[in-house]
A and B are shown apart, each in its own frame.
Chain A
Amino acid sequence: MSHSSSPIRAKFWTPGVVVLAFLMAAGAVTIVARYIGGIGYVSNLTTARPWGLWIGVDVASGVALAAGGFTTAFLAHIVSRHYYEPVVRPALLTAMLGYTFVVLGLLVDIGRSWAIWKPMVFWNPNSVLFEVAMCVMFYLNVLYLEFVPIVVEQYKGRVNLPGPLAALNGPAEGLLKIADLITGKLMWIFIILGVVLSCMHQSSLGSLMLIAPTKLHPLWYTPILPLLFLTSAIAVGYPMVVFETTLVTSSLKLDSEMDILAPLTRFTVFLLGLYLALKIGDLGVRGTYVYLLDGTAQTNAFLAEIILGVIVPWVMLVLPRVRQSRRGLFIASSLIVGGVLLNRVNVFVVGYRPPISEANYAPAFGEILVTVGLIAGLMFLYRFLVTYLPVLNRPKQEVSA
């Protein structure tokens, strides 16, 4: 294989990274406040609106936008399109960090963070959330295992811990050797397991709301909601790869990878088209198109989601001209990413209307700080790990040197 990855060996503390650190600090202060004064101290959550920004963005959108991990693994490793290998590692890193921060976000959101292990002991197989939680737990571990070879590649044979830790060089080396041996032999299992677990919980996230038919707006409440969640997650996988690769390669001044990203989005034309067809078919079959012009906030959010987030970028990607322009590809991919994000927020927050109290909800400043802080933390760790581990594609000039 011609492709190889390497640490980027660039200066770490750039102005952008400093900004991320400040945002993380603000989020951390808010999280401390949450553990002193309670969830009610930093959020606008109430009896009628128990789930808000944290579930809609940190958890539901976090899971959906981490779908690049299993969709690229499927492409490069299950159907052996090794051509796409260079985007697999960055997508895997995004997924690993994405799910890690989903769990961190959940720890802040659930009332008893210390009790998060209890679903492993007290099972309720009737609960959709139980299945989602089990899948997320297993998948997070699968992602860590899939990441092991990257660490092994960097450090095997050259573990050199500083100062008094040097005594641990031998054991660390042995550990890497064992990890290498195990993950090398069993990696195919983890790759398939990752796809299976993803299909399970990506869809079940949509089933979560099926228990609340009186609360979720009919534009979203449909028995095929789990199917819509699954197809949209699969469809957003490659656009998310384009989105982050373009951001990363332009901010780190690396090669744009256009020769990989352009053909990658041809799959998206089909996958996003499938999602669009299901979504429109659902409107027709259930007759919910009658709501489309009633001008309420819910309806407008739905229109924004489907027109700006699905139809416009789909039409853009159908055109080869757009697929081959870096700017066009980035805009279309950003719209798709934004559309899926808006869809998850719509299902869990905007479209959620408690019919008795008719309580409204807007996220508190504290909730926003936590969410922004977590996203900044994710980007910070991404930047840190690509600086020191072989994740990103080796720049072309270095290969030729």
Chain B
Amino acid sequence: MDLSRRGFFKVMGATGAGLAASNRPARAWQSRAPEDPYGCLVDLTRCIGCRKCEQACQAVNGLPEPEMPFDDLTVLDRKRRPDEKSFTVVNRYYSGKIDERDQLIPTFVKIQCMHCQDPACASACIVGALTKKENGAVAYDASKCIGCRYCMVACPFEIPAYEYHDPITPRVMKCTFCYERVAEEGKLPGCAQICPVEAITFGKRSTLLEVGHKRIKDNPGRYIDHVYGEHEVGGTSWMYISDQPFENLGFIQVPEKPLPQLAETIQHSLFSYLWSPIVLFGMLSGVMWGFRNKGDRDIDHEGENS
């Protein structure tokens, strides 16, 4: 008994030493956002709802033809979401404002992947099939994907869609930020290039922020003083300015903290270098050693009374 006790404390001591050694200062979570990515600034006061951006997106990305043609504006009568066949859609909102002829003035909102600076989808992805590129795009590599759809759970903007009707090789489908056109051909994203009213401005994110704030400052009566995407979820590459409050236009309030921060902090502080499993393994070995001859001496058989 004495021997086993001593052995037990020896193991516990070794475990304690191991614990102390691994007790280095915890590093704070760090953003992995690119320094100077590209982005797009959407000026909702300029958009006329022509759906040319949807058409260009379909052509550039080789997506299937839609059921109703792009020049059919009755499509706007109901709210749509991007899906596995269309990476961007335009929705129409009425704020109640009327023009001089008593007609309701619509506001059109183009939706697509926001290309977050610290994307939740990329942090969640089990195989790293989703990555944030230096040029700002959140890119998807189907060759790594296993189809767990955790990216879709993680995305606060409900953007990634899935080819649910492909039984063997379904893909996650979302706006690519025309990654190859931008990175290799030096062109603009399809939607930004075609927009006839320059509602979409393509450029460095830092420049776009300056442009956005300047437009707001030069026209304080016209704009809400908010660039949506400047701080949302730690910043996004696509940003919006508007004359209507964003919450009336289908934009949700999201935290300003990057979404991966909490889960990644917990994971890394517990599991970096696997220190906690190793310590737990050591402790349990010690306990097992200490109890190996102890048996059931102190068990009282409560069940026997029944």
Contact = CB atoms under 8 A, between A and B. Distances in A.
Interface of A: 34-41, 43, 45-48, 50-51, 74, 77-83, 109-116, 118-119, 122-131, 133, 188, 191-193, 195-197, 199-200, 204, 207-215, 223, 226, 258-263, 266, 320, 323-325, 352, 354-357
B304 interface: yes
A98 B17 CA distance: 37
Contacts of A355: 252
A219 B147 CA distance: 29
B2 interface: no
A325 B287 CA distance: 33
A115 B141 CA distance: 13
B252 A266 contact: no
A355 B255 CA distance: 13
Given A118-B144, A226-B266, A82 B164 contact: no
B259 interface: yes
29 contacts: A35-B168, A37-B167, A40-B164, A47-B161, A48-B81, A50-B162, A78-B287, A78-B288, A79-B291, A111-B146, A111-B163, A114-B168, A124-B127, A127-B124, A127-B125, A128-B263, A128-B267, A191-B288, A200-B271, A200-B277, A207-B266, A208-B263, A211-B124, A211-B263, A258-B306, A263-B299, A324-B302, A356-B157, A357-B81
A127 B121 CA distance: 9
Nearest to A224: B266
B49 interface: no
A326 to B, nearest CB: 8
Nearest to B255: A213
Interface in B186-201: none
Interface string B54-72: 0000000000000000000
The dominant DSSP class at the B interface is: loop
A192 B124 contact: no
A82 B147 contact: no
Interface of B: 81, 83-84, 120, 123-129, 144-150, 152-154, 156-158, 160-170, 250, 252, 254-255, 259-260, 262-264, 266-267, 271, 277, 280-281, 284-285, 287-288, 291-296, 299-306
B289 to A, nearest CB: 9
A112 B302 contact: no
A124 B125 contact: yes
Given A51-B149, A128-B263, A213-B259, 11 more contacts: A111-B146, A113-B147, A126-B267, A127-B124, A130-B126, A133-B126, A196-B284, A197-B277, A213-B262, A214-B254, A324-B302
B284 A83 contact: no
B263 to A, nearest CB: 4
Contacts of A109: 148
A259 B167 contact: no
Given A50-B152, A112-B170, A80 B291 contact: yes
A112 B147 contact: yes
Given A47-B83, A110-B146, A118-B144, A131 B271 contact: yes
A129 B299 contact: no
Contacts of B161: 47
Given A51-B153, A78-B288, A115-B145, A223 B262 contact: yes
B287 A79 contact: yes
A14 to B, nearest CB: 29
Contacts of A74: 284
Pick from A47, A77, A199, A259 the residue with the most CB of B within 10 Å.
A47
A214 B293 CA distance: 52
Contacts of A77: 288
A129 B152 CA distance: 13
Contacts of B260: 126, 211
B277 A41 contact: no
B168 A123 contact: no
Nearest to A204: B267
Contacts of A47: 81, 83-84, 152, 158, 160-162
Contacts of A258: 303, 306
B262 A38 contact: no
B98 to A, nearest CB: 28
A37 B148 CA distance: 18
A37 B170 CA distance: 11
B302 A212 contact: no
Nearest to B148: A110
Contacts of B127: 118-119, 122-124, 130
Nearest to B147: A111
Contacts of A45: 149, 162, 164
A128 B126 CA distance: 8
A58 B129 CA distance: 25
Contacts of A262: 302-303, 306
Nearest to A223: B262
A263 B306 CA distance: 11
Contacts of B300: 263
A207 B302 contact: no
A261 to B, nearest CB: 7
Contact of A214 (B156, B162, B167): B156
Contacts of A195: 280, 284
A324 B302 CA distance: 8
A83 B154 contact: no
Contacts of B163: 38, 111
Nearest to A264: B303
A107 to B, nearest CB: 10
Contacts of A263: 299-303
B263 A82 contact: no
A110 B162 CA distance: 11
A196 B275 CA distance: 12
A70 B100 CA distance: 74
Given A47-B83, A116-B146, A199 B304 contact: no
Contacts of B160: 47
Contact of B145 (A112, A130, A196): A112
A358 B283 CA distance: 47
Minimum-distance CB pairs A-B, first 7: A111-B147, A40-B164, A259-B303, A324-B306, A262-B303, A50-B149, A50-B152
B271 to A, nearest CB: 6
A38 B281 contact: no
A116 B166 CA distance: 17
Contact of B296 (A81, A111, A261): A81
A192 B288 contact: yes
Contacts of B120: 211-212
A80 B156 CA distance: 48
